[in-house]
Amino acid sequence: MKLSLAIVAFALAIPSATYAQDSTAVSKGEYPNTFSSGSANVSPFTNQSKRFNDWSISAGVGVPLLQSADLTSIKNGNGKNLFGYSAYVSIDKAITHAFGINLQYDRGETRQGWFNTKDSAPDATSPAGRTQYDAISILGDINFSNLLRRVDNHSPYRWALHGYAGIGTIAYRAYQKDINGQRLMTEVKPFQLGSMFMQAGTGLKFKVNRRIDIEGRLMYVVTGDDEFDGGGDAYSAINRKSEQVSDNFFNATLGVSLKLGKHESHVMWHDPLQEIYYKLDVLANKNQDIEVCKKGDADNDGVCDDWDRQLDTPAGARVDGAGVALDTDLDGVIDLYDKCVTVPGPVENNGCPVATTGPVVETETKLEGIEFDLNSDRILPSNTPILNNAVNYINSSNGSYSVIGATDTRGTDAYNQKLSERRANNVKNYLIKNGVQTGKLQAVGKGEKDLKYPECEPATKCPEWKNRANRRVYFEAK
């Protein structure tokens, strides 16, 4: 095949052979957006933002050995050891640090059979063949060393194991020689359905310097053609020696790669994990004095003046994250000065409700329904409205009250007595915290001696709602 195939291959790829990989540019305002990662440090990926070279040109020479055929280059019953020659040139593009694509042109000649076609045929039963071929293929390139490299491996990174696989088109002229002389048996033109082939293999690269790599490769070529070895048509005597329908060969080569670009490093020799760990080590060893609250905290509320929205918070007041004093019931009196923290009231009455006039509704004086979970003295959120009514009622009354705690019949007498006292004291403390005078309240615990439903003795005799009703706190006027 003519050299024009190689020229076509270069012409298709060279116009785009420019620069590299990766971006560290800072956002100019239009990022982040809906389609970005959300980071502020993003920008369009352009040639100006690349930090690595990602183009290279490779070339090499080698020896092809026809292995699976009716005439072979290896002494395995269909021939003896015969060595041909091969050469390749490729344009390589690295997509990431672990994957690339190569456009490759191969040219060579295989020699197979029982003697070298340059020599005379020894007898009529020992034919020989030689095949001149040209091929263009696209290969995927996987950098296994970068893909499998350990993050704690800090050794010099100068060797890399690569894997290749791809398809292409092959053109060849297959000759056969016997005692009658040498003749052309098969000729296949490129870019036809019958000229497709595959090849795959591995290569070991050594980094000489930032520009040069040396690589040894071993590729296996599957021609998909039973006439590649020079045996003639599929039904010839020679091609009936073996059952395989594809003549395949090994191609061992030694080559060199020239890395192109203006940057110091090529992306296929870059390990991003190592870079991340290096930066973390630098940050870990860097001493930084962090100054908190540059403008101070004038009101000493624990919120820096840089973001304090209330710079004159009274001493002792609880504040939110913006430094504003808390007002739980939103009545305009901050909790520090509010006598009824959870019940809204006017400022003139220190945040407590104004005493009501007129008759008191009976349901407000009973103050029932303050119930508790089993073995618990915690005031439940469902009790809050009842307790707030108790605050209003007791504050509007001139009398004093006993806060009485009770339990159900589960547990010992001594345990239930202490549990009832804790329940009564918790309710008493809640009322005092929300504005009731201490002198108006007395906490009393009656244990399991004051059941709302006496028939629940023992507790297993009653449904759970009755036992829950026995676990209660209620009020009595003194």
Contact by Cβ (8 Å): 404, 474: yes
DSSP string, 237-257: TGGGS---S--EEEEEEEEEE
Q: What is the mean pLDDT of residues 262-287?
A: 80
Percent of the residues in the chain that have a pLDDT greater than 70, as a whole number:
87
Residue-averaged pLDDT of the chain: 83
Q: What is the pLDDT of residues 130-178, one digit of tens each?
A: 999 999 999 999 999 988 888 777 777 899 999 999 999 999 999 999 9
Which range is least confidently modeled, 98-102, 256-260, 341-345? 341-345
217 pLDDT more than 70: yes
Contact by Cβ (8 Å): 180, 155: no
DSSP string, 193-232: GGGEEEEEEEEEEEE-SSSEEEEEEEEEEE---TTTTS--
Q: How far is CA 459 from CA 378, 411, 462, in A?
A: 21, 10, 6
Q: What is the mean pLDDT of residues 50-71?
A: 93
Tokens standing for 183?
């003749």
Q: Could you give the CA distance from residue 136 to residue 104 in angstroms, rounded to a whole number?
A: 6
Amino acid at 229: D
- Going by pLDDT thresholds of 50, 70 and 90, the confidence category of residue 78 is confident
pLDDT for residue 303: 87
361 pLDDT more than 60: no
Strand, helix or coil for residue 275: helix
Q: What is the pLDDT of residues 442-473, one digit of tens each?
A: 999 988 888 888 888 887 778 777 888 888 88
22 pLDDT more than 60: no
Q: What is the pLDDT of residues 407-416, one digit of tens each?
A: 888 888 899 8
Q: Could you give the CA distance from residue 135 to residue 189 in angstroms, rounded to a whole number?
A: 10
